[in-house]
Amino acid sequence: MDCNEWHLPSKPSPLICASVVNMADDLPSVLVLGPPIVFTYYERRFSENFHFLKPWESSIPLHEFLTTYAGSVKAVFDSPKCPVTKDILQNIPELRFIMTSSTGVDHIDLHECKRRGVKVANVGSIFSEDVADTAVGLLIDVLRRISAANRFVKAANWHQKGDYPLGHKLSGRRIGIVGMGSIGLDVAKRLNAFGCIISYTSRNKKPHLEFPFYPHIQELAAKCEILIICCALTDQTRHMIDRTVMLTLGRNGIIINIARGGIINEKDLVECLLKQEIAGAGLDVYENEPNVPEELFDLDNVVMMPHHAAFTEESMRHVYEIVVANLDAFFSNKPLMLDVI
């Protein structure tokens, strides 16, 4: 659900208002936007430390909800599902801290936060290993057709149609990593162990890495048969992976995206897949989530997940711990962990 569709009764009852005030006297108030998945899992434990304002339980537009509680909101806990825009920031003028449940902060207007003196913290590289595992899993699935073979067997086609089409091996493949941050590095380590040939592009060359570096995505695509997208979504990377890059990658090319959907021109990707101008894709993220191009649904060479690469029981527990620590630090006027600005 879009965060702008959340509602609250237009006139909260006196009992509700009294409850908010009384709880706020005992516990710091935190506005939750999203809500983050970790909040769903750990709401009861979170609520032992903080009083949460939850707009999705409301029946009026979000901006009215914000206006209602504008004087008491000094901290926000959000997820990428609900961008923190200039308009939202204007509606909560007392805000001083945003804690996001993600590594990426492209959904937050950092320029406006800095202008208003609002601190922002993320969860750092806490998801790196889980996301890297998922990237490798998606790649193996596309190459070996695991999900498609699973559907084949469960549909009783093995007996009726005989042998299943052959897949492809992973070892020895030429793989280009787009963005050599903590996730990209974890992906590289895993695929290097599989005997893959790794090269990369990034904002800057990493002096400590021996993998070949290419400053431009087009050069990387020309040297590889698989691209794994691990970079942040910025003005410079939006639609960086377009039809030109895909055609350079070639008919045997595979694209894995566990970063942000907007890095790929999704229309170009659909066209190239339908025309068999690339061989396949493994996708955890999409340009207009939760909307996914229906043209991809029947393609056995496309494996999809619902933006879930980072989420494991272990990662959720670690996120819970770091969110509580940061909110405690903010309300105690102590240094924040993993602050962005």
Positions annotated as catalytic residues are 260, 289, 307
Contact 190, 132 (CB under 8 A): yes
Could you tell me which residues are beta bridge partners of residue 304? 283
Q: Please say whether the beta carbons of 284 and 258 come within 8 A.
A: yes
How many other β-carbons are positioned within 10 Å of the β-carbon of residue 246?
23
CA 227, CA 279: separation in Å to the nearest integer?
A: 12
Residue 218 amino acid letter: Q
Question: Starting at the edge strand that comes first in sequence, how are the strands of the sheet with 119-121 ordered?
Answer: 51-53, 29-33, 75-78, 97-100, 119-121
d(CA 322, CA 38): 11
With beta carbons less than 8 A apart as the criterion, state whether 264 and 257 touch.
yes
Residue 246: HSE in the Cβ half-sphere, 13 Å Cα cutoff: 27
- Computed on alpha carbons and rounded to an integer, the radius of gyration of the chain in Å comes to 23
DSSP symbol at 57: G
CB 127 within 8 A of CB 106: no
Q: HSE-up of 171 (CA within 13 Å, CB side)?
A: 3
Q: Which single residue is written with the structure tokens 């009852």?
A: 13
